[in-house]
Chain A
Amino acid sequence: MTEHNFTHVSFEHFLGEQKLMGARCKACDTLYLPPRPMCTECYRDDMNWAELPENGKLIAFTTIHIAPTAMLEAGYGRDNPYVSGIVELENGLAISAQIMGLDAAKPEEIKIGTALKAEYVERGEGEANKTFLAFRAL
């Protein structure tokens, strides 16, 4: 495997391989999501990549009707809202992600605590192709 710096570029590269990866400090074992190049617990800068659990639960969410440009381009908007949320993984780390498999038109029915599993969403053609982290309700 080629050397991957502990940056968002590497994080996104791993998403393209359908992997959710964080950084673990070799000295004190602290685990980071998103990955970062320096441990802010012990201030060493010697990290390992660590595969993170793909299962988690929804701890905060919203349905977005007024979308940013990137999501408008992906086909979302007032007539097609989507769910964004914050997901707590089984190991306690949390991350922001789009949430699939929930009805954005019925936000009252969406439950905090819903079990979720990571999903890797491809958007954009050719050079612009990128993999986004999402989660799907189980």
Chain B
Amino acid sequence: MSRKKLNRGVAIVGAGMSKFGAFTGLSTRDLFVQAFQDMRASIDKGFDPNDIEALYIGNYSSDLFEGQGHTAPFMADWTGLAPRPATRIEDACASSGVALRQGIIAIASGLYDIVLVGGIEKMNDLPTSEVTDTLATASDILYEIPAGFTFPGFYAAMATAYMHKYGATPETFMKVGIKNHENGSLNEKAQFGATIRKVMDGKIAKAKTRGYPEPTWADEIEFLHDDRANPVIAWPMRLFDCSPISDGAAALLLVGEELATKFSDAPLYIIGSGQASDVALHDRKDMTALRAAQLAGKEAFEMAGVTPADIHVAEVHDCFTIAEVIATEDLGFFPQGEGYKAAEDGRTARLGERPINTSGGLKSKGHPVGASGAGQAVEIWKQLRGQAGERQLPGEPTLGLTHNVGGTGQTCVVHIYERR
């Protein structure tokens, strides 16, 4: 693959998100307004929304979740941006990571100078079984769904192949969940911003007040092995290995590089972008890695002219705990088959040598699927600008990465950001 560059540099000058969670009575347009206002407040030197020239909105399936198709123009209307062109991007859970890439390409082409990128999803209006069915439409409905597979099931199958090949155990994955809840407990926007320890204490207190026998878990791992407290969803993925059903939105303001300091004291320059697709899981030579993530990462690193070792902070697509382990290998942070050891040894913790998912990741922060990719960029924006509050990484990080996956890795998109 030859090394490709953008014809024009692109920077993020504003980034914001709604809280992620379950919000009865709010639709995607209401959540997007919250994200838009949060983004507006983040623009150091202010801006006039009328200067926005186009919108790229990532949205997986408002059609099935909300009964609302054609969502992009509604986002334009509710943010006062009609009649500007508004385009919806659908690539399953990678929808807004890909929307970001489309926004970048639009500015790099010279067609636009200022673009709004968004991500939206509203999943909690449907019962769990219908959410499961809706997510399943991102896989092969002709040849995978008749086999009884669900999304937790696909990643669980990757996990069994991974455990068999490299010797990881279900405890490895539990440790990823514990770590991400730890990070999420420091994020006020997180859906489940409690540590696993706090969840346990809550359950013990509840048992006491109700006069039930008190649970006697020795530690988090024992709690996570408890079939009642942490039921199996698709073995070895249990409840606390799975990202939640979430509502949420995120918004990013992109401008041509030469305009960046007109809006921001500390813009993030997008120095690398990569995207790839792949075949169905059963057609892959190796089920313990995502080829599309490897290729998207390679493209982004080559464009950026940096290596995995240079990255200070990464938000990776931990829709399931196994996915985070595989992502850290696909991106080259650890050799193949060693990501699980790194997770077990705490090397990916917030204060470890290779911080992964300081926001809490999709696991704790929440996974409103079409909003997740743009939400990842919001965390990198905060970390590289020193605005991540209690979870701020020490040492003034300047290089960040996001890794956003659609389906079982049939779409992967990677971006690299620099604070200069």
Contact = CB atoms under 8 A, between A and B. Distances in A.
Contacts of A59: 161, 287
B287 A86 contact: yes
Contacts of B24: none
A112 B161 CA distance: 8
A62 interface: yes
B244 interface: no
Contacts of A76: 148
A69 B146 CA distance: 11
Interface stretch (A23-31, A47-55, A91-99): A91-99
Contact of B234 (A64, A69, A95): A64
Interface in B133-165: 133, 136, 140, 142-150, 152-153, 156-161, 164
* Secondary structure type dominating chain B contacts: helix
Given A60-B160, A96-B281, A82 B148 contact: yes
Nearest to B232: A65
Contact of A60 (B132, B157, B231, B283): B157
Nearest to A107: B235
A122 B72 CA distance: 43
A133 B142 CA distance: 12
B123 to A, nearest CB: 15
Contacts of A4: none
B201 interface: no
A84 B287 contact: no
B228 to A, nearest CB: 12
A61 B147 contact: no
Interface string A99-117: 0000000010010100000
Interface residues of B, number: 37
A98 B145 CA distance: 10
Contacts of A137: none
B242 to A, nearest CB: 9
Contacts of B152: 62, 64, 66
Contacts of A85: 147, 157
Interface in A35-69: 59-69
A34 interface: yes
A2 B26 CA distance: 54
Contacts of A1: none
A8 B236 CA distance: 31
B129 interface: yes
B210 interface: no
B345 interface: no
B150 A96 contact: no
A110 B191 CA distance: 35
A22 to B, nearest CB: 12
Nearest to B165: A112
Contacts of A138: none
B282 A94 contact: yes
Nearest to B142: A8
B337 to A, nearest CB: 15
B148 A61 contact: no
Contact of A84 (B132, B148, B280): B148
A95 B232 CA distance: 24
A133 to B, nearest CB: 7
B128 interface: yes
Contacts of A71: 148
Interface in B232-248: 232-237
A94 B285 CA distance: 10
B265 interface: no
B258 interface: no
A107 B128 contact: no
- Kindly name the residue among A34, A96, A98, A112 whose own CB sees the greatest number of chain B CB atoms within 10 A: A96
Given A8-B143, A68-B148, A107-B236, A62 B156 contact: yes
A30 to B, nearest CB: 13
Contact of A34 (B132, B142, B153): B142
Nearest to A58: B160
A66 B233 contact: yes
Contacts of A97: 147
A15 B320 CA distance: 33
B235 A63 contact: yes
A128 interface: no
The 3 closest A-B pairs by CB, nearest first: A62-B156, A96-B147, A107-B235
10 contacts: A8-B143, A62-B153, A64-B153, A65-B234, A66-B128, A67-B150, A69-B132, A95-B282, A96-B143, A107-B232
